Amino acid sequence: MPTVQRERLTVVHGDGAWLTTSTGDRLLDGTAGLWHANIGHGRQRLADAARAQMTSLETYHVFGRSANEPALRLADRLAEMVPVAGSKIFLTSGGSDSIEAACKLARLHWQLEGRPQKRIVVSRERAYHGLHAFGTSIGGLTYNRTGYGTSSLVPECARIPTHGLDGAIEVMEQIGCENIAAIITEPVLGTGGVHGPEQGYLEGLEEFARANDILLIIDEVITGFGRTGRMFASERWQLSPDIMTMAKGITSGYAPLGGIAVAPRVADRFFTGKDAPIFRHGLTYSGHATACAVAEANIDVIVDEALVTRAAKLEEVLVSEVGSLRTHPLVREVRAGCGLLAGVELNADADAAAVADLCSESGLMTRVIHGNTLQISPPFVVTEPEIELLAATMRSALDHYSTARVAPVIPEVSDFQKGALCS
């Protein structure tokens, strides 16, 4: 294969599940950007919400007694939506910030409980929890930790195997549960290669956490707001997190925002009056008013257009279409079946980046994630024919990579590729 000159794909426009680049090419957004564009691109309703809020008040911080109305409204709404009964919502500025907040709060919780030795945050190998200091340290992708210190940025982080509950429990027993503040996991490992949970694994982790006084943090930064065909993946696997992290789909990427939902067990002590402890975490843009107004409009769209049900229904189509790539000689494994999420893992000797480039030359945006895997996570507005096109384009790119190793024939451009898809 000749060395491919990898030029940037500069995206200048988005509508529905489609992107337009600076060179005028149209690409189906097979990944919803970085798993964020759940409701699709180009929504006037969200732009209107941002404009209305900005022209009234761009933002006002939520430190101390200060607040802004969209942040308060959004927090109330999220508290009703999340699978964390009686929760309090702490708004952040994005996914990595949500992770920082969750991990710091877990440690503070045990400090305030009089058990300060419980500081270790346990995560899974191949996990991805963002790239701030805690996220870098608990992340299970070793290359993301390299170069920032001899062990990890934040001390007292440990990892358990991705699969195999018994092995995970063994590691935690060696560490000593009396030293563990929290277990954190994504319901479906995303950047780590799209790995759904083994039967009973998540439920088993929760049971172990409960039995051993360990907090359970479920990272729903990717899975939250419908990606797995439920509003939150915790519902799909019947989990009751002590802390649940959110970002991405909270605004579908129209503005940077995140949040954590905190169960009463952890949150209540911070609301006991003037002597209550203070959770000293927060950034200028935590609970940014315009971002919160956009989040409200985003949730309205998800509800009004029943996009979670749509994602659940399209799971079957994705499983069947993308699943058909399993038989391709270049494909090692296809992982699908958790809503609109799939990973196509190529054989170790195949260059996934080259295949992704061939896909983009043929009108499909995908990207390489951990384990020589191509990411598939389209916006929820994607249609069945578009999912078929996605699979056909990927197959064509794989064929061309494995045989002629030249740019593939571009599949016929159909009408839906030309026109706007969403209102």
Q: In angstroms, what is the minimal distance from the CB of 190 to ligand PLP?
A: 5
**Closest residue to ligand PLP using C-beta atoms:** 95
Instruction: Decide whether 139 or 363 has the Cβ nearer to ligand PLP.
Output: 139
* Residues 358/397, Cβ–Cβ less than 8 Å: yes
Among positions 46, 222, 311, 390, the unique one binding ligand PLP when judged by CB under 6 A: 222
Task: Decide if residue 95 touches ligand PLP (CB under 6 A).
Answer: yes
For residue 202, what is the enclosing H or E element? helix 201-211
Among positions 31, 68, 136, 191, the unique one binding ligand PLP when judged by CB under 6 A: 191
Among positions 19, 99, 120, 292, the unique one binding ligand PLP when judged by CB under 6 A: 99
Instruction: Considering only the stretches 124-132, 170-178, 208-216, 301-309, report the one whose residues sit in contact with ligand PLP under the rule CB under 6 A.
Output: 124-132
Instruction: Considering only the stretches 20-28, 207-215, 217-225, 333-341, report the one whose residues sit in contact with ligand PLP under the rule CB under 6 A.
Output: 217-225
Among positions 33, 94, 226, 229, the unique one binding ligand PLP when judged by CB under 6 A: 94
Q: In angstroms, what is the minimal distance from the CB of 331 to ligand PLP?
A: 24
Instruction: Decide whether 112 or 283 has the Cβ nearer to ligand PLP.
Output: 283
Instruction: Decide whether 94 or 140 has the Cβ nearer to ligand PLP.
Output: 94
Task: Decide if residue 130 touches ligand PLP (CB under 6 A).
Answer: yes
- Find the angle CA(53)-CA(56)-CA(60) to the nearest 5 degrees: 80
Instruction: Considering only the stretches 100-108, 125-133, 155-163, 166-174, report the one whose residues sit in contact with ligand PLP under the rule CB under 6 A.
Output: 125-133
Task: Decide if residue 186 touches ligand PLP (CB under 6 A).
Answer: yes
Task: Decide if residue 190 touches ligand PLP (CB under 6 A).
Answer: yes
Instruction: Considering only the stretches 60-68, 113-121, 123-131, 136-144, report the one whose residues sit in contact with ligand PLP under the rule CB under 6 A.
Output: 123-131
Beta-strand ranges (E) seen in 76-233 are: 88-92, 120-124, 157-160, 180-185, 215-219
51 Cβ partners below 8 Å, 6+ apart?
A: none
CA pair distance 288, 69, nearest whole angstrom: 10
Q: Kindly report the number of other CB atoms within 10 A of residue 414's CB atom.
A: 11
387 Cβ partners below 8 Å, 6+ apart?
A: 314, 317, 318, 321, 322, 378
**Strand-by-strand arrangement of the 373-376 sheet:** 331-336, 342-346, 373-376, 368-369
Within 227-256, the residues that bind ligand PLP by CB under 6 A are 247
Question: Reduced to 3 DSSP states, what percent helix, strand and coil does the chain have, rounded to the nearest 5?
Answer: 40, 15, 45
CA neighbor of 222 nearest in space, from 244, 238, 246: 246
Helix (H, G, I), strand (E, B) or coil at 345: strand
**Strand-by-strand arrangement of the 180-185 sheet:** 88-92, 258-262, 243-246, 215-219, 180-185, 120-124, 157-160
Q: In angstroms, what is the minimal distance from the CB of 191 to ligand PLP?
A: 5
CA pair distance 191, 222, nearest whole angstrom: 9
Among positions 18, 90, 128, 201, the unique one binding ligand PLP when judged by CB under 6 A: 128
CA 233 to chain centre: 11
Within 30-49, the residues that bind ligand PLP by CB under 6 A are 34
Task: Decide if residue 219 touches ligand PLP (CB under 6 A).
Answer: yes
Instruction: Considering only the stretches 114-122, 126-134, 309-317, 349-357, report the one whose residues sit in contact with ligand PLP under the rule CB under 6 A.
Output: 126-134
For residue 244, what is the enclosing H or E element? strand 243-246
Q: In angstroms, what is the minimal distance from the CB of 79 to ligand PLP?
A: 21
- Residues in contact with ligand PLP by CB under 6 A are 34, 94-96, 99, 128-130, 186, 190-191, 219, 221-222, 247
